[in-house]
Amino acid sequence: MTRFLNVFNRHFLLLLALVFHLMFTSCVDIHPPINCNSSSPLHRVDVDFTTSRINNEYIVTFNGYFKSQARRRFITAALHEIGSTSWSIVPRNNPAKEFPSDFDVVKFKGNTDTGLDALKDHPLVKGVTPHKKVTRTLKYTRVNEGEDDDDDDDVVDEPISSTPRNKTDWDRTFHSSRTINRRSLSLGTAYWHSPNRHRSRQLKRAVPKQIVSALQAEILWSMGYTGSGVKVAIFDTGLASDHPHFKKGRIKDRTNWTNEKTLDDGLGHGTFVTGVISSSNECLGFAPDADIYVFRVFTNNQVSYTSWFLDAFNYAILKKINILNLSIGGPDFMDHPFVDKVWELTANNVIMVSAIGNDGPLYGTLNNPADQMDVIGVGGINFENQIARFSSRGMTTWELPAGYGRVKPDIVTYGSSVRGSALKGGCRTLSGTSVASPVVAGAVTLLASAVLDRKDILNPASMKQALMASARRLPDVNMFEQGFGKLDLLRAYQTLRTYKPQASLSPSYIDLTECPYMWPYCTQPIYYGGMPVIVNVTILNGMGVSGVIVDKPKWEPYSPHFGSNIEVSFSYSQTLWPWSGFLAVSISVAKSAASWEGIAQGQVTLTVETASEEEDVDSKKSTIKLPIRVKIISTPPKSKRILWDQYHNLRYPAGYFPRDNLRMKNDPLDWNGDHIHTNFKDMYQHLRNNGYFVEVLGSPFTCFDASQYGTLLLVDAEEEYFPEEVTKLKRDIDNGLSLIIFGDWYNVSVMKKVKFYDENTRQWWMPDTGGANIPAINDLLSPLGMAFSDQVLEGDFSMGDHDMYYASGTSIARFPDAGVLVTHTLKNQGYEVLKAETQMAENVPILGLYQTHSKLTGGRVVLYGDSNCLDTSHLQKDCFWLLSALLEYTAYDNMPSMFTSLDKIRLPSPAELPDRMEGNHLHRYSKVIEGNLGTPISRPLPPCPSLIWAPPHPINKSAPTNLYQPQKLMSVGIEAPLPMMKKERDELIDIKPGLLPEQPLNGPIVLQESSNVYPILAFIGTGLVVLFLLNQYYQSRSRPKRKRTKPRSRKFQQLIYGAKLPGV
């Protein structure tokens, strides 16, 4: 019996040791790169960029594709006529050089103006634009595991400081984080929440180790769909051919478009993006059997050029790419060679997926090309289904100042803490919309492989329609943050399986009463006499690359729902190409409803027609309806009505309009639109909360009825003014209109100091104005005896009980003696910029309030020298309270009590007022002035916009009670079945980490996470330990106790080896 127990103990302990060996080494054996105790490290990707125009290099685009010899002949012929010989064509050594192309890069020596004009006049030349360069810096920062990604503290922003800067700080050239050119979009990890978000403890959803599990891609894999037969292109930093995460034979082509002699990825970004789309090992991608085409467009020094992208795009068309992921972007939607080439790509049936940008939570920060109608623009969320803080927000700013922006992003998906392939194998975790973009691109590739039998219906519009129609709307999030909502892969599959080619709208309805989704439309009712509300709707045409709107859109008011109280006007694309167009709907209140209040409803009906590609086949038609619901109130008193001047705000692109705060050296461009629904949205919401009604003026001052408004609000204006505007404004103020102007810095010497400079190309880019166009504003104020100076001031001060910060503002140079002036001592920031020394400016006037006396009914005028306290872009201390106090003064003549006891100040006559900088190029971008032999002159005053109201076609039926329904596209049959659908998913899907399909996979072989083995091993090990202890207990009870003569360690060895060891 004793011998039996010894043998049992010996084998038992060997088995127990083996079990524990497996438990502690299984992670290494199964997934060597993965940390068993946690997921892979989380990294934040900090991105910095320098951008420039290449000195004397220009992209010449042609009206067609020609061989290199033909293109050279065209350029030679154009330049020969002017006798120019100081030029050369920049060689492009890449895979596309042997194919016909539609552009060349020409480099001039010396003066380029005559050469550019000669090229533009050639009949085969489509356009001539500067060649651009972008230098990117990616810095991967390890985020500690204990950090809470949901905290606002995680935001990576440039700190605002009022401390003096030394000379080297100001001498540094400006580098824009919102680059002029294209850039990668991997950034921070913090998230945006409502200011009122609940911060108490709550159950957090675990971050899945596989992004594919979060979207249930395994279900489609189990049906045999794995991306096979689909060509997907990744434009990034390259990929190693032997990377272990990709199946052999799946990397079909790697091309290098840079000036380096390598195809491999030296940074890791391209590897990560490709892995999210197509990895088949460890951190899995969506389409492991897709054909991968790698386009290396960034060097290891993180430099790229527009021409590299254009050549690569042409090559993608030649290779008949199906899906193209572009995790890059920039604000320049006027970079025509790039934008035009994107249109050409989608027209050739390439489905382009692009990141919407990492400039959130600011509004109006969308990146191109994701903001284009034919591109799927992707925003980011976290695994709590919250919009990621870094994700850029709409609206688009192409349409400003006269129109209104479109809804973007199109959809959102997981873009925070996503695991993907690391450079040398293994996995890493990154965040950014450049992560969300390949998630959608991978899903789109997988979906495309699932409908290859219906290849004729698959195009950029139909895929976008399916994604948007099947998306899950996020609660309490507006449309400019989420678009149509969160990507739902399985519903998108069902939609595509039964899809019938058709046209659709984005947004699919207009409900000015639905908050928060329809923000900002839902925040302000409409009334008679107000500026028309403009809703810019995108038309998607899934029937063909080109289409037209038949006849005209038709306005059909619902008779039982007071639809006749609404007037509607339309502006729309004459041709829908490629795959899309716009429908701008202007909504106003009929005169008959001037005193009526209530909800009015109607619908817009339009028909889209597309010619069939087959002969003797009728054209395709699709009729779509756009429901409209508005809330109408009686016209408010004019004291409550504020008119925001949008017409005189200019922004990048295309000119260099610098930021209003000179401290923001990492972000010098003013590119957010300066609109009440973009970077001034917080100010707008404050005014609405205080009962004011804010309307937007997108035309000259000669086009509004001043008797309807209490105050004209002019903030941070960069545009010039027509002489007729100056005259009319003076007359309007005399008749009772009040004016509030928030200015900004303007100093010619400082403007020259903050010009862009690229050390490599020695190219300067001069600002076209300062923070505001002070010389133009002074012309506007001249009849009132007022003017701003060219001082640049900065500093903290107090006004009443409020702390204030003056961020690169100006001072008042002229003001009527009867007015009230508020002075403070501030730092002379202009002197600091120019001399690198600190100098204080004593008692400078920064605020002036004046009651005109030309008539008894004269209006009031207020000047303040800094707009940064209203602008959310780099807001440090807001002055919304001050704006409310000033409106009380302008609307009701209630002078703020803090200013009533101030002594009168008489300003000395200034030696001279600020002048316009010689040689500035403002006339190139201005709506008011034009160049004339080097001297800008005023353009003719344009006619005021006149809307043509659509004739009503009343329909006598009840309107739908709820305009929002999950969008239903017309289908050819019942919904496609899915396996494992246990119940209808009416709510957002909760995915457990590591969820894998219960059925055997017909697609890729998926290794289960090693954590799934732990419970089994732990159970076996625990059982063996219990048996061992019971056995020892039994032995101790069955034999007499005796004195221990051997150490425990020797006894343990005895039990294992069964032999007695000699003692010492």
Residues with a known catalytic role: 236, 269, 434
The helix (H) or strand (E) run that includes residue 169 is: helix 167-171
Closest CA relative to residue 374, chosen from 497, 485, 486, 462: 462
Place of tokens 């199964």: 30
* Nearest Cα to Cα of residue 698 among 627, 635, 765, 647: 647
The residues facing 138 across adjacent strands are 47
Edge-first strand listing for the sheet containing 376-381? 251-256, 291-296, 231-236, 323-326, 351-355, 376-381, 411-414
Closest by alpha carbon to 291, among 263, 323, 326, 313?
A: 323
Q: Is 486 exposed, middle or buried (0-12, 13-18, 19+ CB in 10 A)?
A: buried
Please state, in angstroms and rounded to a whole number, the distance separating the CA atoms of residues 514 and 763: 50
Q: What angle do CA 206, 154, 808 make, to 5 degrees?
A: 155
CA–CA gap between residue 53 and residue 824 (Å, rounded): 41
Residue written as token pair 């330049």: 79
3-state secondary structure at position 67: coil
Q: How far is residue 106's CA from residue 75's CA, in Å, rounded to a whole number? A: 9
Strand pairing of 427-430 and 418-421? antiparallel
Give the Cα separation of 323 and 351 in Å (integer): 5
CA–CA dist 518, 507 (Å, integer)? 10
Residue 730 tokens read as 């003076």
Total Cβ atoms within 10 A of residue 897 = 9
Q: At 729, list the tokens.
A: 């404004």
Please answer whether residues 922 and 720 qualify as being in contact, where contact means their C-beta atoms are separated by less than 8 angstroms: yes
Identify the helix (H) or strand (E) that includes residue 211. Answer: helix 211-214
The H-or-E segment that residue 50 falls in is strand 42-66
Contacts of 720 (CB under 8 A, 6+ apart): 773, 776, 779, 922, 926, 928, 929, 938
Q: Which residues of 436-475 are buried (b: 16+ CB within 10 A; e: fewer)?
A: bbbbbbbbbbbbbbbbeeeeebbbbbbbbbbbbbbbbebe
Query: What is the Cα–Cα distance from 310 to 313, expressed in whole angstroms?
Result: 5
> Angle between the 433-450 and 489-497 helix axes, to the nearest 10 degrees?
40
Apex 473 CA angle, 432 and 330, nearest 5: 30
C-alpha pair distances (Å), 792 with each of 748, 789, 910: 11, 9, 16
CA distance 213 to 258: 36
> Which are the contacts of 355, defined by CB distance < 8 A and separation ≥ 6?
185, 326, 327, 328, 329, 367, 370, 377, 378, 432, 433, 434, 436, 437
Other Cβ atoms closer than 10 A to 921: 17
* C-alpha to C-alpha distances, 194 to 365, 366, 410, 516, nearest whole angstrom: 18, 20, 21, 11
What tokens does 75 get?
């350029």
How far from 533 is each of 485, 568, 672, 948, CA to CA, in Å? 24, 10, 21, 14
Burial 813-824 (b: 16+ CB within 10 A, else e): bbbbeebbbbbb
**CA distance linking residue 509 with residue 625, whole number of Å:** 8
